[in-house]
Structure 1
Amino acid sequence: MFGWALTFLIVALIAAILGFGGIAGVAVEAAKIVFFVAVVLFAISAVVHLVRGRSPTVP
């Protein structure tokens, strides 16, 4: 997911350099949304991992 956020950020930078302000703004907003969704999913995953703990190993 961080790859998608980075992709949108690069698209926004290229669009801004070429003068496409509207496209750059949309790409920046998409990058922000994807980044924060990835951070939230990471946090949820970390909490679930801490709650579940390690599973016992079977000999």
Structure 2
Amino acid sequence: MIVLGAILLVLGLLLGMQFLVYIGVVLLVIGAVFWLLGSVGRPIGGRKVWY
């Protein structure tokens, strides 16, 4: 999710599409939150790890 957010953010900045920038930032933030919660051992959605 973090990688997809970064790709969309870069594409949005290069192509000048503001909605891609917003979607990229949202995906980056959500991915970072999931990564932090998963790294401290907190289950997300009933699962401890996401593969």
Please report the RMSD computed on the Cα atoms of aligned residues, expressed in angstroms: 1.5
Residue number in structure 2 paired with 1:13: 13
TM normalised by structure 1 equals 0.59
Determine which structure has more spread, i.e. the larger CA radius of gyration: 1
TM normalised by structure 2 equals 0.67
Name segments (4+ residues, structure 1) moved above 6 Å: none
Matched, 1:34 2:34: no
Gaps of 5+ in 1: 17-23, 50-59
User: Identity over aligned residues, as a percent?
Assistant: 14
